[in-house]
Amino acid sequence: MSIPASLQKVVTKFERAPKDLRVQALLHYAKKIPPLPAELLVDRSELEQVHECQTPFFLASRVDPGGSVHLFFDAPPESPTVRGFAGILYAGLEGCSARDVLAVPPDFYSRMGLAEVVSPLRLRGMSAILGRLQRQVREATSARQDADPSNAHDIE
């Protein structure tokens, strides 16, 4: 398992930051989540709730025809910690290949020093967000492979 360069850059920033600045950095990433696109605002059925989060948190992902992953998060503005987690994932994984997203270890954030500034319950929420995201990407890529008629030659 490995971390894509874009996510590693975020991890390194947190690793190097003094403890008192990590919370500020987390709040900074909370502001990096773009608003949901109009179609997800109108029809929220594509959004999956992450029940492990203390806050109502929803996510969706899409894998485009080129194999790049696109992320969509919805969390209330009054939940900056959870939004910060989502912002970290957005900054580090938006546009990455499905393979890179699936290779991220579930505890990638442990080196960021967040355990010193965030409760274990909140950290489990971050792990759950990544887990749901990876499951969605795995399902999307599996469905695409199943639908690809070029796989028929493998049956022979």
Q: Are 58 and 113 within 8 A, CB to CB?
A: no
Fold of 5-146: Sufe protein. Chain: A (3.90.1010)
The torsion angle over the Cα atoms of residues 43, 45, 48 and 53, rounded to 10 degrees, is 60
- Of 149 and 131, more confident: 131
Length of the chain, in residues: 156
Domains of the chain by residue range? 5-146
- Of 153 and 80, more confident: 80
Can you tell me which residue has the tokens 């999956």? 48
Radius of gyration of the chain (CA): 16
pLDDT > 70 in the chain, percent? 92
**Residue 54: predicted pLDDT:** 85
- β-pairing, 58-63 vs 69-74, is antiparallel
Other beta carbons within 10 angstroms of residue 69's beta carbon come to 24
**pLDDT above 90: residue 34:** yes
Q: Does the global pTM surpass 0.85? A: yes
- Number of helices and strands (H, E) in the chain? 6, 3
Average pLDDT over residues 8-33: 94
The torsion angle over the Cα atoms of residues 85, 10, 113 and 137, rounded to 10 degrees, is 50
pLDDT in tens, 42-87: 999 999 999 998 889 999 999 999 999 999 999 999 999 999 999 9
Q: Are 117 and 23 within 8 A, CB to CB?
A: yes
